[in-house]
């Protein structure tokens, strides 16, 4: 049974993250955004709050929160700025939850524990210059040599590329299958920043999420020991898709927070700004835009909470999470556009936050599955062309 009431623990979490964001980040986010500067000092604060290991069990250094709590954190962080939620997506969602499910006990002790504690920062490396949604198109290769692999390739559009200590990387270990574009030839690896042949660079040309670190990294014959292969050789594609289920969940919840931020900023402005002698909130077309934001917020929240409920039960949720990600990110783009419109000329000014919301919202409509990819997926489910079957790649059910 799905309970729409938050537990007392979840309400306290929601309040504490909201208060922290309002106190520590909101007052300086505009300047960080203007300066295109990532504030690394945010990370130890998030670690102290238990956010970086939110849904990792206490046995592995985490806070042991359920997956609905992870959604609450993501929503509250993106309410302040998308750059905060991105940290949760790549570190906690894509990386930590993948290691929790697919990693060996040795990998969990060496990598997951310090990551969950916030002593190390982690990210995810799948996208390449010539391969995004087309995972089979990646060119990174890993050649076996004795008790290790030599990994060569380039990844791009990587959040925390210049900040992360550990990277969950995907590449071909079977070159014949690479030629055939057979995904069973892909494998997953843990690569450390300190490995010889690894280098990263910052992307400076992006126009959104300016307070976040985004970059690329290259690997030139990076020696990765056998002990750092995640899962079995050939299971990389399954792991990548599993990871995206977790990342998309945080993206969906985060986009919900952005819709709420647009709604609140628009309502505040509509009460204060007057035209034709009355507050603009009295005009029907302004009300229409704010009502749409409210509707989209409520639907988006229900969708990500449904996915969180399934995760808590240890049930497959690819279909539900994909729908939540698609709907909420597209809705956030609509909400941000309308928020700028409500603000009129002031919406085009950096003095108000809605311009930043508008620039930030677009990325989530593209990454972790474009809206077009998700449309095709949802249609295929309805048409019976796609079906999710239980596999070993399920998150362990939450036990309170």
Q: Exposed, middle or buried: residue 58 (CB in 10 Å: 0-12, 13-18, 19+)?
A: exposed
pLDDT tens column, 108-140: 999 999 999 999 999 999 999 999 999 999 999
**Residue 229: both structure tokens together:** 């292969």
Query: Residue holding tokens 């709907």?
Result: 327
Give the torsion through C-alpha atoms of 178, 179, 181, 184, to 10 deg.
-40
Phi, psi angle pair for 32, to nearest 5°: -60, -40
What gap in Å lies between CA 183 and CA 214, rounded to an integer? 27
- The CA-CA-CA angle for residues 157, 44, 26, to 5°, reads 75
What gap in Å lies between CA 209 and CA 291, rounded to an integer? 26
Quick one: which of 93, 247, 96, 90 has its CA closest to 162?
90
Phi, psi angle pair for 198, to nearest 5°: -100, 135
Residue 1 pLDDT grade (very low, low, confident, very high; cuts 50, 70, 90): low
To 10 degrees, what angle do helices 26-34 and 354-366 make? 70
Phi, psi angle pair for 175, to nearest 5°: -70, -30
**Residue 338: both structure tokens together:** 């309308």
Residues 6+ apart with CB under 8 A from 338: 262, 266, 289, 292, 293
What gap in Å lies between CA 354 and CA 360, rounded to an integer? 10
User: Stretch 69-81: mean pLDDT, rounded?
Assistant: 98
pLDDT at 389: 72
Task: Give yes or no for residue 24 having a pLDDT over 70.
Answer: yes
What gap in Å lies between CA 292 and CA 297, rounded to an integer? 8
Quick one: which of 277, 257, 283, 281 has its CA closest to 269?
281
pLDDT tens column, 165-195: 999 999 999 999 999 999 999 999 999 999 9
CA-to-CA dists, residue 38 to 13, 156, 193, 194, 258, angstroms: 25, 18, 19, 21, 19
- The CA-CA-CA angle for residues 169, 214, 307, to 5°, reads 65
Q: Of 78, 128, 320, 368, which is the active-site residue? A: 368
What gap in Å lies between CA 46 and CA 51, rounded to an integer? 5
pLDDT at 395: 77
What gap in Å lies between CA 179 and CA 137, rounded to an integer? 10
- 3-state SS, 19-54, equals HHHHHHHHHHHHHHHHCCCCCCCHHHHHHHCCCCCC
User: In this structure, what DSSP letter does residue 109 have?
Assistant: I
What gap in Å lies between CA 95 and CA 230, rounded to an integer? 11
For the stretch 189-200, what's the b/e string if a residue is b when 16 or more beta carbons lie within 10 angstroms of its beta carbon?
bbbbbebeebeb
What sign has the CA pseudo-torsion 148, 152, 158, 161?
positive
What gap in Å lies between CA 125 and CA 97, rounded to an integer? 15
Q: Domains in the chain, ordered, with CATH?
A: 8-121 (1.10.540.10), 123-237 (2.40.110.10), 238-383 (1.20.140.10)
Task: Give yes or no for residue 52 having a pLDDT over 50.
Answer: yes
pLDDT at 290: 98
Phi, psi angle pair for 128, to nearest 5°: -130, 170
Report the SS3 class of residue 292.
Answer: helix
pLDDT tens column, 138-158: 999 999 999 999 999 999 999
Distance of CA 231 to the CA centre of its chain: 22
Verify whether residue 9 is a known catalytic residue: no
pLDDT tens column, 337-394: 999 999 999 999 999 999 999 999 999 999 999 999 999 999 999 999 999 876 555 6
pLDDT at 2: 67
pTM exceeds 0.75 for this model:
yes
């Amino acid at each position: 049974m799905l309970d729409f009431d938050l537990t007392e623990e979840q309400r306290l979490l929601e309040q504490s993250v909201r208060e922290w964001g309002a106190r520590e980040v909101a007052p300086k986010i505009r300047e960080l955004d203007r300066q295109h500067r990532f504030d690394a000092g945010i990370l130890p604060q998030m670690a102290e709050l238990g956010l970086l290991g939110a849904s990792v069990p206490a046995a592995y250094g985490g806070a042991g929160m359920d997956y609905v709590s992870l959604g609450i954190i993501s929503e509250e962080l993106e309410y302040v700025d998308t750059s905060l939620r991105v940290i949760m997506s790549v570190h906690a969602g894509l990386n930590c939850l993948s290691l929790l499910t697919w990693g060996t006990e040795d990998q969990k002790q060496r990598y997951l524990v310090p990551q969950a504690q916030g002593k190390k920062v982690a990210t995810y490396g799948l996208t390449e210059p010539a391969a995004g949604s087309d995972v089979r198109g990646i060119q990174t290769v890993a050649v076996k040599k004795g008790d290790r692999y030599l990994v060569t390739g380039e990844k791009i559009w990587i959040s925390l590329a210049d900040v992360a200590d550990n990277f969950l990387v995907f590449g071909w270990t079977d070159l014949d299958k690479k030629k055939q574009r057979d995904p069973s030839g892909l494998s997953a690896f843990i690569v450390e920043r300190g490995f010889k042949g690894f280098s990263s660079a910052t992307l400076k040309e992006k126009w959104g999420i300016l307070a976040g670190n985004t970059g690329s990294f290259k690997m030139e014959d990076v020696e990765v020991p056998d002990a750092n292969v995640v899962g079995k050789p050939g299971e990389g594609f399954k792991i990548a898709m599993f990871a995206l289920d977790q990342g998309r969940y945080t993206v969906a919840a985060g986009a919900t927070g952005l819709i709420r931020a647009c709604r609140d900023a628009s309502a505040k402005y509509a009460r204060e700004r007057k035209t034709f002698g009355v507050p603009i909130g009295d005009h029907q077309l302004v009300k229409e835009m704010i009502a749409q934001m409210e509707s989209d917020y409520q639907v988006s929240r229900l969708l990500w909470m449904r996915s969180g409920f399934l995760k808590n039960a240890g049930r497959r949720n690819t279909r539900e999470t994909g729908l939540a990600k698609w709907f909420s990110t597209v809705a956030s783009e609509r909400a941000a556009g309308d928020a700028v419109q409500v603000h009129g000329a002031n919406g085009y000014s950096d003095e108000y936050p809605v311009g930043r919301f508008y620039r930030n919202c677009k990325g989530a409509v593209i990454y972790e599955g474009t809206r077009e990819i998700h449309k095709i997926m949802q249609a295929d489910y309805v048409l019976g062309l796609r079906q999710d079957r239980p596999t070993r790649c399920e998150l362990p059910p939450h036990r309170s």
